[in-house]
Amino acid sequence: MSASRTERLLNLLIALLNTRYGLRRSELREKVYHDTSGNDVAFGRMFERDKNDLRQFGFEVETLTDLGWSGDDPATTRYRIGKESNRLPDVQLDPEEWTVLLLASQLWERAALGTAAQSALRKLQASGRMADVELPAGLQPRIKPAGQAFDDLVAAMHARHPVTFRYLAGSTGKEEERTVEPWGLGSRFGQWYLVGHDRARQATRHFRLSRFTSAVATLENEQHSPPADFNIRKELDRLPELPLRTAVAKVREGRLLALRRRALPASPPSDGADPADAGYDRISLHYRDPETLAEELASYGPDAVAAAPEDLVEAVRRRLRAAAAFSDSPAPAYAFPPARARQARPRTSEDQLKRMLQLVPFLVHNQGLHIQDVARHFGVSRKELEDDLRILICSGLPEGYPDDLLDIQWENDHVFITQDLDLKRPVRFTVEEACALLTGLETLNGLPGIAEGGALESVTLKLLAAAGEEGLRAASLAGPQMEPADAATHATVRDAIESGAQLHLTYLSPQRDKVTERDVDPLRLYSLDNTWYFEAYCHLVDGLRNFRLDRVQGVRPNGRPVADGITPAAGVPAKLFTPNDDDTTVTVQLTRQGRGLADDYYAERTAELPDGGLVAEIRFGNTAWLPMFVAQHGGTVRILAPEDLAAAAREWLAASLARYGG
């Protein structure tokens, strides 16, 4: 969108906010639009579109008529926006509340809700100066949504559009097309669930996102209304946990230590000597969800073969077949965009106006900041910020005097605003912003060291009051439980980070399939849902590494302090993979269903495909496990280059399928 449209919308907003009795359409046309075309129909359409755009920001345009006159007469109808229309109430937070809020705003791993959380945080910062706070030492919990389907469902749910998708029913094992009115998304038992009205069955149904076998399609021309009292967490609390079942798997001798650790004490008797099973041990495993175990067993390829029950065997076979078919399909045509094009921010009138409506109140409450600090706060370049400021200083009351324009100065690189034209308060939270923050705060409830005390409860109550109706809709989203599985290990690592103590670690590495002893300098704790990691400098390999807490077999302080000058890898949130100069760049193709993997593995370049998929370049330090990566994701990812890695993945899949009879 052109900057002229952004300027027009801003001037229209200022004009309607600063009129007491309202402005007629003819006055707006002359003074704001400067339209002399004489085409009433074209102008009317433009004005209606602009009113709708302002409504999207929450500014309801009031229509006023004089007593006895018809509201259909443009000559007598006047328009205005109330002074308090969609203004965010003042929210005063103490340092402890700011600390909790900052943690909640950083929870969302994926861009959609992560962007909304940061936008909401900027609105709160714009309404008053943020207290100087320090986050708990090295603590960065995060929520990892379930792939692209999560983002698509959140967007459809907030817009109240029905969705369609293909789904593998757990009760029947059949794959079917479903049309659902989405009411809520939540995490339960380590899985993400969609709850909504299934149109075919005319009943409320639960859908596990791990059982989606296609991308989500949104029916944008249709609307629905969810139940007024719907609460996703209460709904999922009534969901019974899947029954505990026993699986039998054949595991190659001397391999897969992590899987063997979970084996039941007594292995099942063999059904007779099968020459094909030579070199394999039979083990029994407890599991609840066959799809989750199938994903793990498929990744092990020919090193682990599901033997029973049959639905588990078929789930593994289906994943391997899909991965093999995708890997053998023709490579798509693609081209990576130039680096500068990928880095450029989209300049839409909606994005720019949203930023400006946050920028003015932020400058009012933070006078004299350096222009680079302001640009950094809004995640834009200095040039983009100056472009915004130039539009702002040309905006004001229609045909007003110089004092009726926004007055912003940035001489000597420090930004001051002296005339705000009633834009000094940010607009209310959107539904996405309210959901991102309030769901994040609720998720922190089980986090050790955060749930104690009253800051979490008090900041939640303040935000609920400020969010209004949008805050009530946060009941449609529920995050995972954040409690670490091993609280003692979590506490030991956290205490070591706070005190600067070095740790001696006994660690199981599934990729290398061995247990190692090492001394590490712990730097920060972070999570993906309830899976916890810590980043540390490992003296065994002389570099930064990330360790999963549930793979730690032993940890204790070794009596030495951490080495001087060692700092975490740059950036928040912490990255699961630390890049090195000798990493291998791998080109992968992702389906629309699996395109979220590009974010999970920090793709350096991506190219869009016509079917909604992606081609991505990703750096890997260890490429030996890439065939496992392809098999695990069952037809949503394949390797395009280097060719030797693509061939290794195809051979791995062929050998895996051979163990299942083809």
398-402, 490-494, 553-557 — most confident range: 553-557
Is the domain of 495 the same as that of 551? yes
**Domain residue limits at 602:** 584-659
Position 342 scores a pLDDT of 41
Phi, psi (deg, nearest 5) at residue 197: -95, 115
Mean pLDDT confidence for 220-233: 93
Whether 460 is covered by a domain: the verdict is: no
Sign of the dihedral defined by the CA atoms of residues 315, 319, 320, 322, in that order: positive
pLDDT tens digit string along 319-371? 999 999 999 999 999 999 886 444 444 456 677 788 888 888 888 888 899 99
Position 286 scores a pLDDT of 95
Whether 364 is covered by a domain: the verdict is: no
Q: Of 449, 479, 480, 445, which Cα lies nearest the Cα of 459?
A: 445
Q: pLDDT-based confidence at 575, cuts 50/70/90?
A: low
568: cis peptide before it, omega within 30°?
no
107-111, 166-170, 294-298, 349-353 — most confident range: 294-298
378 has pLDDT over 90: no
421 has pLDDT over 70: yes
Whether 182 is covered by a domain: the verdict is: no
Q: Give the Cα separation of 545 and 536 in Å (integer).
A: 6
The domain spanning residue 23 has which CATH number? 1.10.10
642: cis peptide before it, omega within 30°?
yes
276 has pLDDT over 60: yes
Size of the chain in residues: 662
Long-range contacts of 200-205 (CB under 8 A, 24+ apart): 205/180
Q: pLDDT-based confidence at 503, cuts 50/70/90?
A: very high
Q: Give the Cα separation of 538 and 544 in Å (integer).
A: 6
Under DSSP, the state recorded for 435 is H
Mean pLDDT, the chain, integer: 86
Whether 156 is covered by a domain: the verdict is: no
Position 212 scores a pLDDT of 87
pLDDT tens digit string along 21-67? 889 888 888 888 888 777 888 888 898 888 888 887 778 888 888 76
Percent of the chain with pLDDT over 70: 89
Position 402 scores a pLDDT of 62
Position 58 scores a pLDDT of 73
Q: Give the Cα separation of 217 and 611 in Å (integer).
A: 12
Phi, psi (deg, nearest 5) at residue 418: -115, -10
Is the domain of 595 the same as that of 643? yes
397 has pLDDT over 90: no
Under DSSP, the state recorded for 21 is S
Q: Give the Cα separation of 174 and 363 in Å (integer).
A: 57
Position 482 scores a pLDDT of 82
Q: Kindly report whether the global pTM for this prediction surpasses the value 0.95.
A: no
Whether 624 is covered by a domain: the verdict is: yes
544 has pLDDT over 80: yes
557: cis peptide before it, omega within 30°?
no
* Higher-confidence position of 81 and 616: 616
Whether 340 is covered by a domain: the verdict is: no
272 has pLDDT over 60: no
Query: Which of 129-138, 475-484, 570-579 is the least confident region?
Result: 570-579
Mean pLDDT confidence for 409-417: 89
519 has pLDDT over 60: yes
Two tokens at 182?
């989405």
- At residue 322's C-alpha, the angle toward residues 629 and 258, to 5°, is 35
73-87, 159-173, 304-318, 410-424 — most confident range: 304-318
Q: Which positions ≥6 away from 158 have C-beta within 8 Å?
A: 431, 432, 435, 473
Is the domain of 41 the same as that of 74? yes
Q: pLDDT-based confidence at 401, cuts 50/70/90?
A: low
> Which of 81, 97, 130 represents a domain boundary (last residue)?
81
Q: Give the Cα separation of 144 and 75 in Å (integer).
A: 55
* Higher-confidence position of 196 and 208: 196
Is the domain of 593 the same as that of 644? yes
Whether 119 is covered by a domain: the verdict is: no
pLDDT tens digit string along 448-493? 767 666 888 999 999 999 888 888 888 899 988 888 878 899 899 9
Q: Give the Cα separation of 424 and 359 in Å (integer).
A: 9
> Which of 48, 81, 114 represents a domain boundary (last residue)?
81
Is the domain of 552 the same as that of 608? no
Provide the number of structural domains found in the chain. Answer: 3
Whether 106 is covered by a domain: the verdict is: no
> Which of 561, 592, 624 represents a domain boundary (last residue)?
561
Position 1 scores a pLDDT of 35
Mean pLDDT confidence for 230-259: 92
Position 247 scores a pLDDT of 96
- Given a contact cutoff of 8 angstroms between Cβ atoms, the answer to whether 108 and 114 are in contact is yes
Q: pLDDT-based confidence at 137, cuts 50/70/90?
A: low
Mean pLDDT confidence for 284-313: 93
